[in-house]
Amino acid sequence: MTERSAGATLVRGGTVITMDDARRVIPDGAVVIEGSRITAVGRRDEVTAPAGAAVLDARGRYVIPGLIQAHLHLCQTLFRNLADDLELLDWLKLRIWPFEAAHDAGSMRSAAELGIAELLRGGTTALLDMGTVGHYDVVFEAAERTGIRLTGGKAMMDLGDDVPRGLRESTRASVDESVALAQRWHGKADGRLRYAFCPRFALSCTDDLLREVGSLVAGANDGVMMHTHASENRTECRLVRERFGRENIHALHELGLVGDRAGLAHCVWVDESERALLAQTGAAVLHCPGSNLKLASGIAPIPELMEAGATVAIGADGAPCNNNLDAFGEMRLAALIQKPRLGPRAMPARTVLELATRGGAAALGLDAEIGSLEAGKRADLVVLDPGRIASFPGDEPYGRVVYSVSADQVEHVFVDGRPLLRDGRLLTLDEDEVMTRAGSDLARVLSRADTGT
């Protein structure tokens, strides 16, 4: 790329997969970035850039909207490969909660930076994250520094005998700390950082906490959202049914938590009436196919949810239940897992790319800002090389991106017009340094973690 000048960049000559309302795919296209926004998208010969704009030659490349992962746990990245082959509740109690309870600010920083490095390398430009109970300022600081677009919040956990002491909080402290984090971070970095209240799941929260979060989110008019897990695992659903006397989504709805600023991760075990409720309320279903397979949770009825009219987005979940944070892998799985159940036309490639772009933007309440390449939107975009051997030949762009491109084909990433990956190299993180520090931080966390082994 030539020198940047006056904050403008012309991405020239690639196939631009806009994901706009008309789903235009523009061969030999161009995208103009000025400051943090896209100012023009079109054919190369019809688009003009300001004099002195830097030029990024994208011939032979695909230019796509930044991928949006709407359910992640950056704090768990340090625990990758340390919690395999367990089902959800054992995975949490035997491994993840003890590990999370042993985090300190330094290890949180390493976990966040490891995760962000992997996300940016793989073309993810925005995420919805859930932290652990403490140290969430560190995650916002990492996002602020590295340039990724983050909506997230600390996990809220005021219930559960199995919850380690280091994670168990009082209702008041949980709400007060969440409100203070929202006040410190929501809207910061020109709106790139946003807050989500994160009651972890019904089983780790009292009715009082859930109700209070519901009214805080309903009373806010600044885009603060609610992010939780729901109906991921059959035992979880049974325990919720025993406690509330109704199905999970209905119980959460009665507590005021299921509305158009809610993101509910998983939704594997939702019956027809819960699917209808999710659609009617405008809540987003955050689909995590890799995690749902690895934790043996099940296959979420995504085509049925979409048929009912629900908003659906995609996420890799945490590194210890996947074990990657790779949006391309997740898209591929999202398509493939439905086909044996519903036939080869279920979840076509274009639909899946929609979930990873427009669906993610809608789930975050940012559909006016991101999710497609259009003049006026934030310049969050990815340039990838579809011409490598594993995705060559063939030029059906959606199928190529969803079924054969992998994360290592991502060459350039911009967020808010700022280049964060150039020619495959991270510009805001030193990968070697992050990995070295993560190694020593992990040793310290493991020496403290009480996993009973």
CB closer to ligand GUN, 34 vs 129:
129
Neighbour-count burial of 190, counting CB atoms closer than 10 A to its CB (0-12 exposed, 13-18 middle, 19+ buried): exposed
- Give contact residues for ligand GUN (rule: CB under 6 A): 73, 88, 92, 96, 200-201, 229, 232, 291, 317-318, 321
Residue of minimal Cβ distance to ligand GUN: 229
Dist. CA 320–CA 252, nearest whole Å: 27
Which lies closer to ligand GUN via its Cβ, residue 126 or residue 156? 156
Nearer to ligand GUN, 88 or 302 (CB): 88
CA neighbours closer than 13 Å in the CB half-sphere of residue 257 = 28
- Closest CB 242 distance from ligand GUN, rounded Å: 17
Q: Which is nearer to ligand GUN, 15 or 206 (CB)?
A: 206
Q: Which residue from 410, 435, 437 is spatially nearest to 120, judged by alpha carbons?
A: 410
The angle formed by the CA atoms of residues 289, 140 and 224, to the nearest 5 degrees, is 70
Q: What's the burial of 345, exposed, middle or buried (CB within 10 Å: 0-12/13-18/19+)?
A: exposed
State the sign of the Cα–Cα–Cα–Cα dihedral 289, 291, 292, 293: positive
Our CB check for ligand GUN shows the closer of 76 and 146 to be 76
* Among the listed residues 284, 287, 283, the one whose alpha carbon sits nearest the alpha carbon of residue 317: 287
Query: d(Cα 204, Cα 229) in Å, to the nearest integer?
Result: 11
Complex with ligand GUN: residue 200 or 261, whichever CB lies closer: 200
Residue spans of beta strands (DSSP E) within 297-427: 311-314, 381-384, 410-415, 418-422, 425-426
Q: At what angle do helices 171-185 and 207-219 cross, to 10 degrees?
A: 20
Q: How far is the CB of 213 from ligand GUN (least distance, A)?
A: 15
We find the least distance from the C-beta atom of residue 100 to ligand GUN, in angstroms, to be: 8
* Between 96 and 112, CB nearer to ligand GUN: 96
Task: Report helix, strand or coil for 167.
Answer: coil
3 state DSSP class of 311: strand
Least distance in angstroms from the C-beta of 14 to ligand GUN: 36
Nearer to ligand GUN, 318 or 386 (CB): 318
- Residue 290 backbone class (left: φ over 0; alpha: ψ -120 to 50; beta: rest): alpha
Q: How far is CA 52 from the centre of its chain?
A: 35
Question: Cβ 8 to ligand GUN, closest distance in Å?
Answer: 42
Minimum CB separation from ligand GUN for residue 73, in Å?
A: 5
Cβ proximity to ligand GUN: between 64 and 449 the closer is 449
How near is the Cβ of 136 to ligand GUN at its closest, in Å? 14
Which of helix, strand or coil describes residue 160? coil
Phi-psi sector, 293: left (phi>0), alpha (psi -120 to 50), beta? alpha
The answer to whether the bond into 323 is cis (omega within 30° of 0) is yes
DSSP for 25-60, written as a single string:
EETTEEEEEETTEEEEEEEGGG----TT-EEEE-TT
Choice between 80 and 358, CB closer to ligand GUN: 80
Does a cis peptide bond (omega within 30 degrees of 0) precede residue 344?
no
Kindly state the smallest distance separating residue 402's Cβ from ligand GUN, in Å: 23
What is the smallest separation between the CB atom of 165 and ligand GUN, expressed in angstroms?
17
**Shortest Å, Cβ 313 to ligand GUN:** 15
- Nearest-approach distance from CB 295 to ligand GUN, in angstroms: 6
Please say which residue, 9 or 323, places its beta carbon nearer to ligand GUN.
323
